[in-house]
Amino acid sequence: MIIEKTFTYILDFNQYLINDYDELVKASYKITGSNELSIDLLHYAIEEVTYKSNLQSIIDSGGMRFYLIRIMITQWRSQTGPFYKAFVKQSDTLELHNVENNIEIEQEKLDVDRVNLIISELPWYDKQLWELYVEGGYNYTELSKATGIPRTSIGLTINRVRKHIKKNL
């Protein structure tokens, strides 16, 4: 007898979901601000309701939509709720990480552009040695062999360029 009642409750609940699912999806999108987690939130709420001992009385009262929406709102907003901890917080952390990475990339682009502008102000000799050193990947000895310029002179020039860049950044 208990199994038959439980089965009847589940059938009633399934029929309710079939009839009202689209409206619940709209509500979940509204609650989350069209976040990609909205369907997950709805399914979490459905699962929560499935295990309620008073499921049939909720269905019979006509308050199932209200009940599910209330669960979704609570789980979405409550920073201590299981759904929030498991999904929203992780999602926010990932988004924050992505935003921080984008900011760092933009900052690096700005820094590179600024350094290039500072280097463009240098005399041609300093600029050419710096470009060979940085872009060519040469060390002082290799540069000296390739250009015939003494290693000490190259070292002094590269250090002068570094100081110029640091001073103007």
How confident is the model over 23-62, as pLDDT tens digits?
Answer: 888 888 888 887 777 888 888 888 888 777 777 777 778 8
Q: Phi first, then psi: give them for residue 153, nearest 5 degrees.
A: -65, -40
76/35 Cα distance (integer angstroms): 11
For residue 128, give its domain range. Answer: 121-168
Quote the number of domains for the chain: 2
- Report if residue 100 sits inside a domain: no
Cβ atoms 60, 10 nearer than 8 A = no
Mean pLDDT to the nearest integer, 84-95: 59
Straight-line distance from the first to the last Cα atom of the chain, in angstroms, rounded to the nearest whole number: 80
Pick from 7-21, 25-39, 83-97, 107-121: least confident: 83-97
Same domain? For 7 and 68 the reply is yes
Mean pLDDT to the nearest integer, 89-112: 53
- Report if residue 85 sits inside a domain: no
The rounded Cα 51 to chain-centroid distance in angstroms is 33
Cβ atoms 49, 64 nearer than 8 A = yes
pLDDT of residue 92: 47
| pLDDT per residue as tens digits for the range 104-156 | 555 555 567 777 888 888 898 888 888 888 877 778 888 888 888 888 888 88
Same domain? For 8 and 73 the reply is yes
In sequence order, what are the residues at sequence separation of 6 or more whose Cβ sits closer than 8 angstroms to the Cβ of residue 87?
Answer: 37, 40, 41
pLDDT of residue 154: 84
Cβ atoms 69, 31 nearer than 8 A = yes
70/60 Cα distance (integer angstroms): 17
| Prediction pTM value | 0.47
Mean pLDDT to the nearest integer, 78-82: 77
- Report if residue 64 sits inside a domain: yes
Token pair 């509500």: residue: 27
Listed residues 77, 96, 129: the one ending a domain: 77
- Cα-based angle 62, 18, 66 (whole degrees, multiple of 5): 30
